[in-house]
Amino acid sequence: MGAVAAGFTFKVFEWQSVLAARFLAGRITLPPISEQIKWEEGRIQYKGDGVPFTALYPDFEEYFEEVRRLVEEAGEKKWREDFDKGHLKRIDMWKRGNEEARERLRGEVFEPKYERTSSL
């Protein structure tokens, strides 16, 4: 849990937290250990045993849907749309902030804070 090398990390952490909380609260059950071991062995064959094991890309949607299924939130795939909208809002905010900073800088005159001297 929490080990993600590539993917929508904070969205993954959110859903993993929901899964853990619901499990600890006794509201859901996890698949049998034999199924979990089978999944892990398949994952090692597919990705390898190391950092690549934790890489969700390019299968992040499959991972999210499995976690959502486990927490009994399956159905509408609105999470992707919400994530994309939020990400686009952040990009717009960064663009606006950068443009505002450029405008402020255009109006400023830069004067050196020290005198340049020649060492020759």
Cα–Cα dist 85/28, whole Å: 30
pLDDT at 56: 86
pLDDT digits (tens, 9 = 90+) for 32-78: 999 999 999 999 999 999 888 888 888 888 888 888 888 876 555 66
Q: How many CA atoms lie within 13 A of 68 on its CB side?
A: 15
Bridge partners of 6, per DSSP, are 55
Using DSSP, state whether 10 is helix, strand or coil.
helix
